[in-house]
Amino acid sequence: MKYIEALNIYEGNDKSLFLAGGITGCPNWQADLTDLFKDENIVLLNPRRRNFPINDPSASEQQIKWAYEHLRKATAVSF
């Protein structure tokens, strides 16, 4: 498995899964899913960042842009 966390850029064309779903105010389900896929030949695109800069006024815009671009790059999207 290859793991790409926002705001890192994924440029490949391998089989990939965008981890769509809650990232704020909910359990870190992305970590559990990442663990399940650790031995698979897949790229996981995770919008949930370990350290979101909440005091940066441009952070939300960057996050949304990253998510939109990587949703389009992904082979599949989780829900």
- Domain annotation for the chain: domains and CATH numbers: 2-77 (3.40.50.450)
Contact 19, 47 (CB under 8 A): yes
| pLDDT given at position 2 | 98
pLDDT digits (tens, 9 = 90+) for 32-67: 999 999 999 999 999 999 999 989 999 999 999 999
- Please tell me the pTM assigned to this model: 0.93
Long-range contacts of 29-32 (CB under 8 A, 24+ apart): none
Sheet strands side by side (includes 43-46): 2-5, 43-46, 16-18, 76-77
